[in-house]
Chains A and B, each alone.
Chain A
């Protein structure tokens, strides 16, 4: 799990049976003590592998949306909740966004930068590669030093060689890392156990970074994990990125199975694509 704190933005991403949405109320409270007020909110997730294990308010997407609508300030009245389906019944993308009027007006200014966010979920990881995220028994290392070994051994360090990486290996298995490259963050989380293996990759980028950048990053991510199934959710004001995603992922042996597009106030366009390995 990861937390990123910018001057006017907070991103929290948590796995397991964490109750992420319970952070909203205290965040609003403590930020108001600093003279800040909440102006927009986006909540997203894939389909849980074990939905019945989730505690309230994560018991269903409907419960999550109702919970958010109750805790968010009333001025965030422009909201939308959407389920973005795919051809894989186990892969649905869940998105909720809410904003106030000031952000809604900002969105319509032509100078909005063309930045994008990738949220990638991978399952059925290659078992040989997944084994690299297990620690040896009594390895004598701290979570930090064992994490560094995994970052090097798996070549996660090559995904963005410019990034400063903060990594951590859990005992007996599992891995998390945050990458910092100027204003841009990236993050990886891995649950390597056979039968429910999972890895996620998330990063932000700019369309100005050149045509090869997006494809290069995606190819490296696929090569680290070699997943059987992968979903890529792209949030951007332009739909152009989605075509680059499909092209790059198909070059590393995966077929695009579905593509769903939806629009959200302030957030922009969300494109949800699923891929499976070409056997």
Chain B
């Protein structure tokens, strides 16, 4: 094994929230792209690609 290389093994975080208004029903999806980028800056990632559907938004990140 190489002494050092790119770490492939991921860390995975799943957070659940309550308090969403079911009449509106979009909850966290209201977070702006700018806010998400700000959060991801803490992680040291940026968005390289994104797509969403009726149910959720997905982002491919750098790294």
Contacts and interface: CB of A to CB of B under 8 A. Distances in A.
A3 B61 contact: yes
A9 B42 contact: no
Given A8-B17, A36-B20, A49-B9, A18 B44 contact: yes
A202 B7 CA distance: 17
B61 to A, nearest CB: 4
Contacts of A178: 51, 58-60
Interface in B19-63: 19-21, 25-31, 35-36, 38-40, 42-45, 47-53, 55-63
Given A14-B43, A16-B7, A23-B42, A37 B14 contact: no
Given A18-B45, A26-B38, A178-B51, A168 B60 contact: yes
A270 to B, nearest CB: 12
B54 to A, nearest CB: 8
Contact of B28 (A31, A123, A164, A189): A31
A15 B60 CA distance: 12
A37 B19 contact: yes
Interface size class of A (residues with CB under 8 A): 35 or more
B16 A38 contact: yes
Given A3-B40, A166-B58, A189-B8, A15 B63 contact: yes
A26 B42 CA distance: 9
A102 B63 contact: no
B13 A196 contact: no
Given A5-B31, A166-B50, A46 B9 contact: yes
Given A36-B27, A47-B9, A195 B58 contact: no
B9 A121 contact: yes
A10 B10 contact: no
Contact of A15 (B4, B7, B16): B7
A36 B27 CA distance: 8
Interface in A1-35: 1-27, 30-31, 34-35
Contacts of B15: 9-10, 24, 27, 38, 40-41
A183 B54 CA distance: 8
22 contacts: A7-B27, A8-B20, A10-B13, A14-B45, A16-B6, A17-B7, A20-B12, A24-B13, A24-B15, A30-B31, A35-B21, A39-B16, A44-B12, A45-B12, A46-B9, A143-B49, A166-B51, A166-B58, A177-B60, A182-B53, A199-B8, A200-B9
Interface of A: 1-27, 30-31, 34-50, 53-54, 58, 102-103, 119, 121, 123, 143-144, 147, 164, 166-168, 174, 176-178, 180, 182-183, 185, 189-191, 193, 195-200, 202
Interface of B: 1-2, 4-21, 25-31, 35-36, 38-40, 42-45, 47-53, 55-63
